[in-house]
Amino acid sequence: MKIVLIGYMGSGKSSIGIELSSILGYKFVDIDSYIEKKEKQSISSIFKTKGEIYFRKVEKVYLDEVLNDNSSLIIATGGGTPCYGTIMNELKKSKDVITIYLQTGLEELTKRLYIEKEKRPLISHLDNKKELQDFIRKHLFERSYYYNQSDKKVVTDGFSVREISKKIVLQLF
């Protein structure tokens, strides 16, 4: 089985993925880290030197590569991964894939992302919390169509990584 974590950047996909991996004994793959390793450069650098279209194309190639692994996996996608091309449809059609939307509120995302915005190429140019919050609000509106197609949904606000992971395990088994 492959458990694919979906949600906006800052929703905790990587942290929760690592915790779930520990609980379930599944291998963990963070798609962004996987891409960086394969491309031998950071996501920020890929965006700057090759652009978002190139990034989205290789993201699809590497996601397919990971999904074709026969192992039981926890996969943390990028925030935009399920929103491009046919990725979400393909995930939903895969018989051994369960998608889980980590639903995190606007206020919580703004708080988390403002702290680390310099490391995030899509938001590093935003100057203040208001601009960041407006950016996130727009993206959540655009992406909610895809995120809400997930097999499961877990609200993350107010819960620790451990608590969220336990909620996911209870929904799965």
CA distance 35 to 28: 14
Average pLDDT over residues 9-32: 96
Residue position matching structure tokens 């889980």: 100
Could you report the per-residue pLDDT of 46-57, keeping only the tens digit for each?
988 999 899 999
Q: Which residues are annotated as a binding site for ATP?
A: 10-15, 120
Q: Which residues are annotated as a binding site for substrate?
A: 32, 56, 79, 143
Q: Which residues are annotated as a binding site for Mg(2+)?
A: 14
Under CATH, which number does the domain 2-172 receive? 3.40.50.300
Q: Which residues are annotated as a binding site?
A: 10-15, 32, 56, 79, 120, 143
CA 113 to chain CA centroid, Å, is: 14
pTM: 0.93
Domain ranges of the chain: 2-172
Could you report the per-residue pLDDT of 71-128, keeping only the tens digit for each?
999 999 999 999 999 999 999 999 899 999 999 999 999 999 998 887 787 888 888 9
pLDDT tier at 4, thresholds 50, 70, 90: very high
The answer for residues whose C-beta is within 8 angstroms of residue 8's C-beta and 6 or more apart is 79, 104, 109, 136, 139, 140, 143, 147
Rounded to 10 degrees, the C-alpha dihedral 152/158/161/162 comes to -90
